[in-house]
Amino acid sequence: MANTTLTHLKAMKQRGEKIAMLTCYDATFAHTASHAGVDILLIGDSLGMTIQGLENTIPVRLDDMIYHTACVNRGNSGRFIIGDLSFMTYASLEQALESSARLMQAGAHMVKMEGGEWLCEAIMHLTRNGIPVCAHIGLTPQSVNVFGGFKIQGRGEKQAAELIETARKLEIAGAAILVVECVPASLGKAITEAVSVPVIGIGAGADTDGQVLVLHDMLGLSITGRTPKFVKNFMEGASSIQDGIVRYVSAVKDGSFPSSKYSYE
């Protein structure tokens, strides 16, 4: 199997081939997921909850992200790696460049940052310096205190139109992938049609170019026992963890995940 590159991912969007992305935090799971057919391994700052047992992602440090990115890189077998920039590590252009450089040197092929239009300058600055950027919009967990909780975004015509406009601006600034979290399925579809870069959804319906889930969620593992509506436990009926991940990948690829049961309207 050829290595997955950004060119490959863009071609997948053009061909209408779904992209399977999964969070990953260590070498063993990187090995398993990359051999199970996952296209993109995301070292998400969700590791704050899944690995560190925190309430949210705000206390996660850049050093944690770098450590886990290096672990994933060692176990990876040719899949595209995206590393999250953690809270307050891209608040200025200089800081964004310095933090991103460290993630890339740990093995990321792209960095991900959460926010809206205000990311445009940083995206331009990073891409000018040879660092590809994924912009994460919709429900952006690092802003949980601004949103007043983990709430569905883009409900209502005005909010939906604003989010579509934000996606367009981020693409123009140079974002090469968009992650869209927790929006109505119709808005996930509209954003995907509005931009030419791959759009990966989580709780954004079936019509995005790809899907991402948190590894522990899709394995049915949770400390809190609270599971968001968009999470499916792929271990149900699976014979092994590898098989559970294979089932996730094939459900994303054949479009059967997410069904309306796992989407918002």
The residues carrying an active-site annotation are: 181
Q: Would you say 46 or 99 has its CB closer to ligand KIV? A: 46
Q: Least Å distance between CB 239 and ligand KIV? A: 26
The DSSP letter of residue 254 is: T
Dist. CA 153–CA 159, nearest whole Å: 8
Distances in Å between the Cα of 74 and the Cα atoms of 25, 66, 252 are 11, 12, 26
Q: Would you say 48 or 184 has its CB closer to ligand KIV? A: 48
Q: Computed from CA positions of residues 234, 236, 237, 243, in that sequence, does the dihedral angle turn out positive or negative?
A: positive
Q: Would you say 13 or 68 has its CB closer to ligand KIV? A: 68
Q: What residue type is 40 in one-letter code?
A: I
Closest residue by Cα to residue 121 from 175, 62, 58, 163: 175
Dist. CA 248–CA 257, nearest whole Å: 8
Which tokens go with 9? 């991912």
Which tokens go with 11? 């071609």
Residues in touch with ligand KIV (CB under 6 A): 23, 42, 44-46, 84, 136, 179, 181, 202, 212, 214
Q: Least Å distance between CB 7 and ligand KIV? A: 22
Q: Least Å distance between CB 46 and ligand KIV? A: 3
Q: Would you say 15 or 118 has its CB closer to ligand KIV? A: 118
Q: Least Å distance between CB 103 and ligand KIV? A: 13
Closest residue by Cα to residue 153 from 166, 170, 169, 168: 166
Closest residue by Cα to residue 234 from 209, 264, 214: 214
CB 228 within 8 A of CB 216: no
Q: Would you say 120 or 213 has its CB closer to ligand KIV? A: 213
Residue nearest to ligand KIV (CB): 44
CB 178 within 8 A of CB 135: yes
Q: Least Å distance between CB 42 and ligand KIV? A: 6
CB 78 within 8 A of CB 1: yes
